[in-house]
């Protein structure tokens, strides 16, 4: 019997008030798979990815991570969440802590590691995203691209098995987008399970195993990049691709 999928969304429905944001979402992501989610703004892609680590609660359906379902007990929810790292559009670094403290913070307070060990782990990840020399600075002293790479290092410090990226390059100046994408490509090559909401179609083509296209709260189609770009099945997808490419 094969291992359960890393992420399984079953019949997911969510409303903001009376507005139906997610409609019967079904998605399964295998361990090590890379999914790129795209779609027009307001299509529910961010809400869906935020349901995966339950930053947003859904009203119907199930979110199952590595075979464990969210909502069974508070302790299990916390444990599941620790397996999922997340990177946000606005970086959301803690501005009152140095870059290094941003990374060691959760290691000391959630995993209770001694300071020296936490710093060693943090430095190794800062090296991985190529900014160890900025460790003593505060986030707001860094450029956007550097801040986003710190955010990736911060998430990796917790040794997640899944990484979620919610429009990681949308808030960046054009010349900083590549330095972040390069780090993400390396991460993908290391075998991490990734779900990335992005409009960077170059990245999608290079890295994604499947592309998921969403509109108005539904998954319209999902296909490997080759098929997705060459032969989209729906007119809605074609229209979207013609607008962004």
Partner 1 sequence: MPDESRLATADRPLVFAPKPSRAPPSSAIGPIAWMRANLFSSVSNALLTLLGAYIVIVVFAAIINWALVDAVWEASNRRECLDKVGRAGACWPGVIAWIPNLLYGLYPKDQVWRINAAFLMLVVWALPLWLPGVRSKLAIGLSAVLLYPFPASYFFHGGEQDLLWTALIALGLAAFAWVWLTTFSERFTGLSFGAFVARVTGDAEQPEESARLRARIGYAVLYLAALALAAQWSLSEVPTRYWGGLFLTLVISGIGITFSLPAGVMLALGRRSHMPFISLCSTAFIELFRSVPLITILFMFNTMLPLFLPVGVEVNRLVRAIVAVCLFAAAYMAEIVRGGLQAILRGQYEAAAAVGLGFWQSTALVIMPQALRIMIPTIVGNFIGLFKDTTLVSIIGLFDLLSMARAVGEDTTWLGLFLEPFFFITLIYFVFCFLMSQYSLNLERRLGAGQRR
**CA 88/CA 92 separation, integer angstroms:** 7
Binds partner 1 by CB under 8 A, chosen from 84, 150, 152, 201: 84
Rule CB under 8 A: choose which of 40, 68, 105, 113 binds partner 1: 105
Contact set for partner 1, span 25-64 (CB under 8 A): 53, 55
Q: Rounded to whole angstroms, how far apart are CA atoms 170 and 22?
A: 22
The yes or no reply on residue 92 touching partner 1 (CB under 8 A) is yes
Rounded to whole angstroms, the Cα distance separating 159 from 87 reads: 14
Cβ 155 vs Cβ 87: under 8 Å? yes
CB of 81 to partner 1, least distance (A): 6
Cα four-point dihedral sign 71, 76, 81, 83: negative
> Phi and psi dihedrals of 158, rounded to 5?
-80, 5
Q: 33 or 101, CB closer to partner 1?
A: 101
Taking CB under 8 A as the criterion, the residue among 130, 132, 138, 218 binding partner 1 is: 138
116 binds partner 1 (CB under 8 A): no
Go through 100-128 and write b for each residue having 16 or more CB atoms within 10 A of its CB, e for each that does not. Answer: bbbbbbbbeeeeebeeeebbebbbebbeb
Is 96 a residue that touches partner 1 (CB under 8 A)? yes
| Choice between 172 and 219, CB closer to partner 1 | 172
Tell which residue, 136, 168, 137, 134, has the closest CA to residue 151: 168
**CA distance readout (Å), 156 to 27, 171, 202:** 24, 21, 24
By CB under 8 A, is residue 161 in contact with partner 1? Answer: no
Judged by CB under 8 A, which stretch of 3-11, 33-41, 92-100, 204-212 contacts partner 1?
A: 92-100
For residue 141, state whether it binds partner 1 (rule: CB under 8 A).
Answer: yes
Helix (H) and strand (E) counts in the chain: 9, 10
Q: Which of 158, 184, 194, 220 binds partner 1 (CB under 8 A)?
A: 158
Rule CB under 8 A: say whether 16 interacts with partner 1. Answer: no
Q: CA neighbours within 13 Å on the CB side: how many for 188?
A: 22
Q: Does 78 bind partner 1 (CB under 8 A)?
A: yes
Total number of residues binding partner 1 (CB under 8 A)? Answer: 27
**Residues in touch with partner 1 (CB under 8 A):** 53, 55, 78, 81-82, 84-86, 88, 90, 92-96, 98, 105-106, 109-110, 137-138, 140-141, 154-155, 158
């Amino acid at each position: 019997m094969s291992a359960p999928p890393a992420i399984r969304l079953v019949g997911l429905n969510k409303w903001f008030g009376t507005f139906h944001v997610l409609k019967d979402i079904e998605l399964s992501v295998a361990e090590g798979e890379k999914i790129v989610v795209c779609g027009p703004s307001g299509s529910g892609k961010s809400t869906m990815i935020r349901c995966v680590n339950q930053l947003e609660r859904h009203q119907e359906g199930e979110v199952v991570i590595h075979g464990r379902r969210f909502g069974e007990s508070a302790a299990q929810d916390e444990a599941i969440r620790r397996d999922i790292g997340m990177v946000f559009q606005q970086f959301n670094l803690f501005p009152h802590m140095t870059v290094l403290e941003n990374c060691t913070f959760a290691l000391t307070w959630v995993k209770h590691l001694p300071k020296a060990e936490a710093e060693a782990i943090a430095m190794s990840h800062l090296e991985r995203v190529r900014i160890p020399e900025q460790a003593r600075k505060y986030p707001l002293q860094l450029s956007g691209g550097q801040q986003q790479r710190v955010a990736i290092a911060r998430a990796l410090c917790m040794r997640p098995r899944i990484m979620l990226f919610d429009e990681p390059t949308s808030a960046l100046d054009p010349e900083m987008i590549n330095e972040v994408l390069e780090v993400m490509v390396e991460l993908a090559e290391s075998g991490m399970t990734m779900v990335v909401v992005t409009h960077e179609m170059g990245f999608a083509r290079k890295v994604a195993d499947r592309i998921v296209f969403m509109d108005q709260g539904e998954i319209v189609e999902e296909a490997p990049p080759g098929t997705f770009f060459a032969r989209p099945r729906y007119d809605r997808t074609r229209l979207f691709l013609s607008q962004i490419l």
